Amino acid sequence: MSYYKFLKETIDKTLTLLVKSKVIENCPEIFKYSIEQVPDNKFGQLSTNVLMINSKRSKMKFVEFGDIFLKKISNLAEFENIKIVKPGFLNFEFKNSFWQNELYEMLLSNQKIDKSKFKKKRVNIEFVSANPTGLMHIGHARGAILGDTIANLFIEAGYEVDKEYYINDAGNQIDVLINSVIYYCNKLSDKNIKEPEEYYSGKYIENIAKNFLDNNDVINLKNDKRLRDLIVENIIKDIKIDLKNLGVIHNYFISEKEIATKDNVNLVIEKLLKKDLAYEGFSKKPLGKTDDNWKPEKQLLFKSESIDDDKDRTLIKPNGDLTYFMSDIIYHSTKIDRKYDLLLNVWGIDHSGYVKRIKNAITSLFGNNFEFNIELTALVNLIQNKKPIKMSKRKGSFITLREVIDDVGKDVLRFMMVSRKSDKVIDFDFDKVKEQSKDNPIFYVKYAHARCCSIERMTKSSNLKDEEFDKYFKYLILPEEINLIIMLSNYLNILESCIVKLEPHRLTNYLYDLAKLFHNYYSQGSKDQSKRIILDDNKFLMFARVGLIKVVKKIICNGLLILNIKAPKKM
RNA sequence: GCGCUCGUAGCUCAAUUGGAUAGAGCAUCUGACUACGAAUCAGAAGGUUGGGAGUUCGACUCUCUCCGAGCGCGCCA
C-alpha cells in the first residue's frame, strides 16, 4: 500500500475515533489536511498539518490535543518514529521494511494513477488554432505542446479526450492572404507593380504564389474560385506537417467557413435575442485606437457592457459579415451540441482581453452545465548568442517553428515548452537547450534513463523476473536508497497534481529531481566501492540495487511517455 | 485612461493549492578523476520573495495600495 494511502487511512480512522469520543466536533473540514514529504528529511520523512488545522476544533490546548492524537496512532508497527515538531506538524518516519515493501509493489505495478479519484469526463481541448496565413512560430509550439501534454494527462486520468483545431478560414485575413498571393503572382511578370496596403509578405507566401503559377494555367486569378481553397489547404497541410513533427495529432480540424452557415448564424441570433442578450444599435467608439474615419453605424450588438465589459461588442458588422466574436460563439455552440463535460481552450496571452467576453457570452447563452476553461500561454523569446532574436515578418527576420524543430529536435522542444508554468515567459536559448550536460534538464533526465538501461545490460538483470526481487529488497538500507524509494513513491501524487492544476511543469521538474537523486546515488560508488551497484562479491545486494534501478527506469520512462519524449536505451 | 498577466539569489527557474531554516541549475570560490558511463560528484558563498499595509497560529502564495515590465482595450483575428 502506498505511504499516502496508508497515512490517509490511518489518520482518517484516528479522527473518526476522536469525533466519536467527542474530542473534536464533526465536520468535513477536519479531513482536509495535507500529507507531504519533508524536505531533505530534516524532520522525518513525511509530515501532516492535521493537528494544526484541527486543534481549534477540539476544546483543548494544542499540546493536549496533540498528545491524545499521538497516543492513538503511535502503536502501529509500520512506524519507526512519530513526533510533533514546531510549529505543530505531525511527522512520521517509516521502518525500512515499509519502504522496501513499497518498492516491491512499485516494481510489480504499472504506475497508473487511481482513476477512481477522477470523475470520468468527456473533454474537448482546443489548441493551436493558428490562422492559416503562414507557417507557425515558436509561440504556437508552446500552445501546441501544452495542449497536447494536458490531453495526455487527461487520458491518464481516464477522461475521454477530443483534441481540436479551429481553422479561421473565413475572415477578412484570408482575403488579405489571397490578395498577397495574387500580388506575388503578378509581381513575377511585372516587377514594378505596387505593393498592396495590407498584405502578408515573405518568402513563404512568395513560394505559394510560384507553386500556384507552376501548377495552374490561370489567367484571371481573382475569378478562380479554386484559388482560395487551394491556398488555405496548402498552408494547413504545412501546419499539419509541423504539428506531426512535434508529435501533436488533433482528432478534429474544424473549419470556420463550414460551421458559419446561414442556419447556424440564424440559430444563434435567435437564441441571443430570445435571451435578450443582443440588439440592433450603434456601437461606442473604439476605446484604444483613435480612428478619425470612425462613424457610428447600425449593427447587431452583444449586451456585454452590463456584464463587466467596457462596451457592447459587435456581433454582425454593418456589411453583414460576422465578427470573430460571433463566429467564435457559433463555434462554441457546436462544441456544446457535442455534449462535453469540459471545454478547455489553450490560447496565447495576446487573447487575454478576450477571455472574459467569450466566457460571459458562452455561459449567459448556454448556461453552465459544463466547465469552460481557458488556459493562456505567455510569450516565448528566442535567444541566440545571449541576445533575443527580434522577430519581424516584414523585415524577413522571422524564424519559423520548422527551423527551430530542425535545429533542436522535437524532444527538446516538448520538454522545454512544458517545463515552465504557462503564465511565465520562456527564454528559449538555442545554445543552452542543445547542451549535453546537466545544465540541460532534458539531457540529464534522458541520461539517467540510459544509465539505468546500461546497468541492466551489464548485470543481465533482465533475466530476473520482477517477482523474484521480493527476497532481495531487505538489503536496501542506505539512507540514499530509502530516499530514492520515497521519491519514487511520490510519482503518482505528482501526476495527480499535474492533472488537477493543468500544470505539466510539475512532472518535468519531478523527473529532473528524480534523475538528480539517482545520479547522485550512482556516483557514490566512485568514492565508496561498497556503494556500487554492480558488486561481484555480494550478489544479493546487487540484485536489490538493480531492482531499485529498474523502478527508477520505469518511472522515468513512464513520465517521458506522458510527455511524448523518447527514453533512450543508449546515448 | 481602463483591463489581464508577471516581478523570487548576479543569470534561468522551483516552492506539493496557506506550512517548517524560501529550494535547484548556471556563473563564482574550495576539493575529488588509470572512471560500475566524470556527459560527473562533494562542499562554500549568494535572499528584506519589487516597496508598504492588512488577514492568519503561519504569507512567495490571499486582500488593499504604490512602483516596474509585458499583453490587450476594432466593424482585425
DSSP letters spanning A173-212: HHHHHHHHHHHHHHHHH-TTPPPPSS---SHHHHHHHHHH
The CA–C1' separation of A316 and B76, in angstroms, is: 14
Given the C-alpha cell 468527456, which residue does it identify? A122
| CA–CA distance, A558 with A106 (Å, rounded to integer) | 12
d(CA A490, CA A445): 17
What pLDDT score does A267 carry?
95
Integer-rounded Cα Rg, in Å, for chain A is 30
The burial class, CB within 10 Å (0-12 / 13-18 / 19+), for A406 is exposed
Q: Name residues 168-197 of chain A with a Cβ under 7 Å from nucleic strand B.
A: 168, 171-173
A245 CB neighbour count, 10 Å cutoff: 15
Positions 351-380 in A, CB within 7 angstroms of strand B? 351-356, 378-379
The confidence score (pLDDT) of residue A373 equals 93
Element (H, E) at A374: strand A371-377
The number of beta carbons lying within 10 Å of the beta carbon of residue A273 is 13
Distance in angstroms (rounded) separating the CA atoms of residues A466 and A9: 28
Nearest nucleotide (C1') to the CA of residue A86? B20
A438 by Cβ neighbours in 10 Å (0-12 / 13-18 / 19+) ranks as middle
- Confirm whether any atom of chain B, the nucleic acid strand, is less than 7 Å from CB of A26: no
Beta-strand pair A342-348/A371-377: parallel
Look at residue A130 in the predicted model and tell me its pLDDT: 94
A340 residue type, one letter = Y
For A441-562, CATH gives 1.10.730.10
Strand B nucleotides, any atom under 7 Å to a protein CB: 1-7, 12-17, 19-21, 23-27, 32, 35-42, 57-58, 70-77
| Domain A3-94 grouped into CATH 3.10.105.10 | no
Q: Is the peptide bond before A388 cis (omega within 30 degrees of 0)?
A: no
Strand B–CB A519 distance below 7 A:
yes
Per-position pLDDT tens, chain A of length 571: 889 999 999 999 999 999 888 888 888 888 989 999 887 777 889 999 999 988 888 878 888 889 999 988 888 899 999 999 888 899 999 999 999 999 999 999 999 998 988 999 999 999 999 999 999 999 999 999 999 999 999 999 999 999 999 999 998 889 899 889 889 888 888 888 888 888 888 888 888 888 888 776 555 566 667 788 889 999 999 999 999 999 999 999 999 999 999 999 999 999 999 999 999 988 888 776 666 677 788 899 999 888 778 889 999 999 899 999 999 999 999 999 999 999 999 999 999 989 989 999 999 999 889 999 999 999 999 888 777 887 765 555 678 999 999 999 999 999 999 999 999 999 898 888 888 888 889 999 999 999 999 999 988 766 788 999 999 999 999 999 999 999 999 999 999 999 999 999 999 999 999 999 999 999 999 888 899 999 988 999 999 999 999 999 999 999 999 999 999 999 8
Q: Where are the domains of chain A?
A: 3-94, 172-224, 264-318, 441-562
H/E stretch holding A96 reads: helix A96-108
Q: ipTM of the assembly?
A: 0.94
